[in-house]
Chains A and B, each alone.
Chain A
Amino acid sequence: MVENDQQKTAGRKTVDGSSRRRFLVNSGYALGGLVVGGALGTLIKPKTTEQTAPDKTNGEQAATPKNYNQALMFFTQEQFQIAESAMERIFPEDDTGPGATSLGVAFFLDHQLAGEWGFNSRDYMSPPFFAGEKEQGYQGRLKRREIFEIGLRELENYSQQQYQSRFVKLTPEQQDEVLKAFEADTVKLTTISAGSFFKMLRSSTLEGAYSDPLYGGNANMSGWKMRNYPGSQMSYLDAIDKDFTKIEPSSLQDHLAMN
């Protein structure tokens, strides 16, 4: 597929990356016969091996530069550890591929909670607050960062209560039991719903595993590779009518670097 794409594009007057960007910036869409379409149609960039295979080299561990993104913006060290172990149970490392921990999912969550999502900046948070029907959705006054602080502490409390041990020290099976009790809402909490907190933990795990690596998870695009998802590609014109084809993934950073 990659080769295919290359040939096809090469056959169609390719414009190099930087001029494509300039083109988009300068032209916009105009009237009166300026054929924007025809020009843009040829702007699909060729795929070269340099662009799509940065991680094929052996010994990548050693070659990987330090990831300065992996530090905490919001969590305490303890909160981070609880979140990381819980998320690893939700999305464990196994034969299928890397799990939440090695994908950097807990860093993703930390970074998200530090920003507008953690503050519910774009949600309607005005009073009055009333308990509603299930069909009416979340009606609490707590922000996501507060829910996570409480939820992680409650995971810890429940572990102490059931097993007299820290959550992170439990066996994987015991951790699963704790998470199941939260999921099923059998743990009764006064401030938040254990079940809703678990749902947030689960959806954040998937977000961290599969969002663009720019957010701190999906390390090295390994989440995408695991399921043969090609990430951000400019065009599937040559793939769309074909049977399943594996395409080396590409990220938004690759896109930026090419343009």
Chain B
Amino acid sequence: MAKTLPKTDVVIVGVGWGGGIIASELTKQGLNVVGLERGKERKTEDYYMVHDELRYALRYELMQDLSKETITFRSNEKIRALPMRQYGSFLLGDGLGGAGVHWNGQTYRFLPYDFEIRSKTIERYGKNKIPAEMTIQDWGITYDELEPYFDKFEKTTGISGEENPYGGKRSSPYPTPPMKKSPAITMFQEATTRLKLKPYMMPSANLSQDYTNPDGISRAACQYCGYCERFGCEYGAKADPVVTVIPVANKTGKFEIRTHSNVRRVLHKGGKATGVMYTDVTTGEDIVQPADIVVLTSYVFNNVRLLLMSGIGKPYDPSKGTGAIGRNYAYQVIKGSAAGFFEKQEFNTFAGAGALGVSIDDYNGDNFDHSDLKFIHGGVISLSQTGARPIQNNTTPSGTPSWGADFKAKSVYYANRTLAVGTQGSSMAYKHHFLDLDPTYKDAFGDPLIRITFDFEDQDREMAKFLAEKCSGILKEMGADKIDYLKELGPYEIMSYQSTHNTGGVIMGASPADSATNNYCQMWDAENVFVMGASSFPQNAGYNPTATVGALAYRAAEGIMKYREKGGMLV
């Protein structure tokens, strides 16, 4: 029998960006919050030996231990899903701060078009522009309604940036100025300007200068150390939950973090949650934590998995297109990129920061005419300088053998002569892309793994090719002597790292008919359960997701306070 603890106002499952924001906002307003985190405690002092590419980037020091839990994957319903036995396509967060500890910090606001994609696409191109199988939806919230929360997230984190010429209206400028410009960034800026495109500095959560946020949290400026994504920041310069929102919650005395606590079920009765059951992974003991409100912030996969295992909400049925939990799984199409080789110039690419870069949005959203194109949307194109660490950066011009003397000579010669221009291509939702419970494979507790059914579609292939050509054109204008770029996207595969931008499964919307939550992330089928993260996205935009995750979390926190007062559905 599981031990039952005293009831708390709110229990949070997973303490990354989503959980950290909810904790800080609710405890500031006096609620008692328990945060259950399956991984361990993390702090800035842990990163004393962090400039270690092998340990952090290739052996995944900070990420989820796959021997205990992974996902299974199949390209379509006809084949057997098999476990992702080793890391590849995406890297899952674990421990206090979640993936927020080892993210890059590229912090874009989605475009106004993204939130109303279905209506705006039909408005401009007619209904036939959207294939029947493509289940994209409006979010049930507009950019303007979400703007104050983007603003809040940017101020908490101190985002360094300059206004995006294609962006939605802003209530205030970025809290800190853009990052420093490397020579490569300047070249991209000049080249894109000559091409009549509109470059702007990438919005960055690596601080351009020392900054104190509205909660009184002070952080140091970024040192461009080049060990950022996949690593923790030894300066606290990179905004992560551990150095921003979690200390705010801790200071109230109302936040109790329990690490090593793996939540396995949301308990419920009569259409409302009563708490959660978790296992203390250090002792193996099962524990019940009763709560008035349950908040799931355990990333896309476990948000969906916990709901399905607990029997909350209607599971998605791909054959009929009905049900909500697991619906509209989407990703990011990032392979549409190009590499340029420069004979006459070497670059300081060993230096960099996770979100140091320059971008254009001329081929993102609906910022360009798609009438004659076989796809909708697009993606941001950027040159980012994140630190070209030597094990993972051995790009050589096409035609070079992959080993031996020639490979060695070329990889060494081009080590500091290669620049990449890449994209964060959007990813549309399809009826046959979804998440459900795997019938065969189990985690360390014997619970089913989550199963992904996903592949790239014609939309993705056309878009990736189009974007790769644009990337190549920019590198040409920058003066690259040789350029390699993606010619054919190929099928989605689980082995090579693409991005940890998984989305959907518990999507928000205007109606319970085609969504799991309302626009406060409140579940239609259980009013005291709030589920947030990129699982809320009905499809993915042409940007990294976390600014939007943060904005939704701030809005959900407001919703939870309202719910606490009045009860009932907020929408």
Residues on A lying within 8 angstroms of B by beta carbon are 21, 24-25, 28-41, 44, 89-92, 94-97, 99, 117, 120-126, 128, 130, 132-139, 176, 179, 183, 202, 205-207, 210-212, 214-215, 223-224, 226-237, 239-245, 247, 252, 255-256, 259
Contact = CB atoms under 8 A, between A and B. Distances in A.
A220 to B, nearest CB: 15
B129 interface: no
Interface in B245-266: 247-248, 251
A139 B82 CA distance: 8
B217 A252 contact: no
A24 B44 contact: yes
Interface in B17-45: 43-45
Contacts of B196: none
A51 B412 CA distance: 25
A211 B493 contact: no
A232 B223 contact: no
Given A235-B224, A236-B223, A37 B211 contact: yes
B223 A123 contact: no
A206 B503 CA distance: 34
B486 interface: no
A135 B75 contact: yes
B494 interface: yes
B54 interface: yes
Contacts of A124: 66-67, 70, 83-86
B225 A235 contact: yes
Q: Which 4 A-B residue pairings sit nearest by Cβ, starting from the closest?
A: A236-B351, A232-B51, A244-B346, A37-B210
A13 to B, nearest CB: 14
Contacts of A134: 493
Nearest to B414: A227
Contact of A133 (B79, B405, B409): B79
Which of A31, A236, A242 has the most chain B CB within a 10 Å cutoff? A236
B336 interface: no
A36 B404 contact: no
A229 B223 contact: no
Contacts of B415: 227-229
A121 B67 contact: yes
B180 A241 contact: yes
Interface stretch (B57-65, B459-467, B514-522): B57-65
Contacts of A92: 404-405, 408
Interface in B468-517: 491-495
A72 B357 CA distance: 44
Given A211-B52, A259-B48, 20 more contacts: A28-B44, A29-B44, A37-B210, A37-B212, A39-B220, A94-B408, A95-B409, A123-B85, A130-B82, A135-B495, A136-B82, A137-B493, A138-B86, A223-B390, A227-B411, A236-B348, A240-B182, A240-B351, A252-B51, A255-B51
Interface string B56-99: 00111000011100100111000110111110100000000000
A205 B491 CA distance: 29
Q: Interface size bucket, B side?
A: 35 or more
B121 interface: no
Contacts of B403: 89-91, 179, 183, 202, 205
Contact of B493 (A28, A135, A214, A256): A135
Contacts of B327: none
A239 B348 contact: yes
Contact of A230 (B218, B224, B350, B391): B350
A128 B408 contact: no
Contacts of A240: 180, 182, 224, 348, 351-352, 356
A139 B408 CA distance: 31
A235 B408 contact: no
Contacts of B346: 228, 243-244
A25 B405 CA distance: 46
22 contacts: A25-B45, A31-B216, A37-B219, A38-B210, A89-B404, A91-B403, A94-B408, A96-B409, A123-B85, A124-B67, A124-B70, A124-B85, A134-B493, A136-B494, A137-B494, A183-B403, A207-B58, A211-B54, A212-B54, A231-B51, A242-B348, A243-B348
A257 B356 CA distance: 30
Contacts of A97: 412
A206 B82 contact: no
A137 B86 contact: yes
A125 B85 contact: yes
A117 B87 CA distance: 13
B310 interface: no
B243 interface: yes
A135 B491 CA distance: 8
B53 A228 contact: no
Which of B67, B79, B180 has the most chain A CB within a 10 Å cutoff? B67
Which of B51, B216, B247, B442 has the most chain A CB within a 10 Å cutoff? B51
